[in-house]
Amino acid sequence: MADLRGGIDLGGTKIQTAIVDGRGDVVGQARRPTPTGGGPEDVAAAMAEALREAAKEAGVESGDLAGVGVGSPGDADEKTGVVSAAKNLPGWEGSFPLAEKLKQALGTEVEVGNDVQVATEAEFHLGAGQEFESLLGVFWGTGVGGGLVLGGKPWLGRGAAGEIGHMVVKRGGAKCPCGRKGCLEAYAGRSAMEAEARRQHEEGQKTDLFHLMEKHDKPRLTSGIWERALDHGDHLAEKLIERAVEALGTGIASAVNLVDPEAVILGGGLGVRFGERLMDPLCEEMSKHLFVDERPPAVRVVSLGDLGGAIGASLLVSR
């Protein structure tokens, strides 16, 4: 029992928890929506509840776990356990001592780390990146996040490495949700893609995207809605996905030219949904910009799926 660890993947939409055994197998899990109101205290309470639910499924109390790891958005300080500027979460513009609060609630040690970095490490240890010693994780979802494993170890830089979504693919280009111009995320992030689709739709461009969104009762253009639109041959959806893939190929190639990893692991909501389908055009776009184009890195879709973030978070405990 002492080798059971808990993992919590804290997302803007949902909280996913998992109890992981010493072999990396998931023996309990739970999921609940991220609170949309209140503040960090409320989010922490929902996280603790979701972790206890997973522990119950695994037949243990949270206090019996060797520890709990959290993959968090925003600026997660591994040393202090404080999470700051998690702007997708309610009332979390400032700093909050997340590890300390969860430790009190759960009765075991709690470690925090960056969400996409821990998901990259999960794929490195247990998923699609197991055969490689160096890899770049690219998480293509609401935003575009990234993580690095170099020479078998996580590379965090000064704590903020991996921001591939804010590498510039076009100087002076599209406005990014981060406020800067020409970032990869400005072309490939789901939020930016939705804003661009809405803008073009309002200018008279025909599309079924928003009709599908309403029909399926979604609050936004989810990866599932984009997929349906592509399946219907929706011209605007095709155009914007193609634009995203061009930007992704360019940004990933730039990253590979700098770091030269063995593999690129593609995850995130859109990455999981479209990774296989768009693998060929993505690799083609990459190869246009790879400096050593005769030996491109391996490109794989994540294999741990939705649980990767929580499993990766659990690995923080033994780090």
Binding site residues, its own copies, CB under 8 A: 134, 146, 148, 150-151, 155-164, 166-173, 178, 180-183, 246-247, 250-251, 253-255, 257-262, 288-289, 291-292, 295
The b-or-e profile of 129-148 (16+ CB within 10 A means b, else e) is beebebbbbbbbbbbbbbbb
C-alpha dihedral, 308 to 310 to 313 to 318, nearest 10°: -90
> Judged by CB, which is closer to its own copies: 28, or 251?
251
Tell me the three-class secondary structure of 64-77, residue by residue. HCCCEEEEECCEEC
21: left (phi over 0), alpha (psi -120 to 50) or beta: beta
> Judged by CB, which is closer to its own copies: 118, or 304?
118
> Judged by CB, which is closer to its own copies: 46, or 259?
259
> Judged by CB, which is closer to its own copies: 287, or 318?
287
Contacts (Cβ under 8 Å, ≥6 apart) of 202:
none
Min CB(12)–its own copies separation in Å: 18
Measured CA distances, 225 to 100, 127, 173, 209, 306 (Å): 39, 27, 26, 7, 18
CB count within 10 Å of CB 272 equals: 21
> Judged by CB, which is closer to its own copies: 8, or 188?
188
> Judged by CB, which is closer to its own copies: 146, or 312?
146
Min CB(100)–its own copies separation in Å: 24
Min CB(137)–its own copies separation in Å: 12
Burial of residue 27, with CB atoms counted within 10 A of its CB: 0-12 exposed, 13-18 middle, 19 or more buried: middle
Min CB(103)–its own copies separation in Å: 27
Both tokens of 27, joined, read 């023996």
Min CB(84)–its own copies separation in Å: 11
Min CB(173)–its own copies separation in Å: 8
Min CB(224)–its own copies separation in Å: 28
The rounded distance, in Å, linking the Cα atoms of 123 and 303 is 7
> Judged by CB, which is closer to its own copies: 224, or 281?
281
Min CB(202)–its own copies separation in Å: 26
DSSP 161: T
> Judged by CB, which is closer to its own copies: 172, or 219?
172
The rounded distance, in Å, linking the Cα atoms of 96 and 81 is 9
109: left (phi over 0), alpha (psi -120 to 50) or beta: beta
> Judged by CB, which is closer to its own copies: 201, or 289?
289
The rounded distance, in Å, linking the Cα atoms of 304 and 268 is 11
Whether the CA torsion 12, 32, 115, 40 is positive or negative: it is: positive
Min CB(315)–its own copies separation in Å: 19
Task: Give the end-to-end CA distance of the chain in Å, rounded to a whole number.
Answer: 18
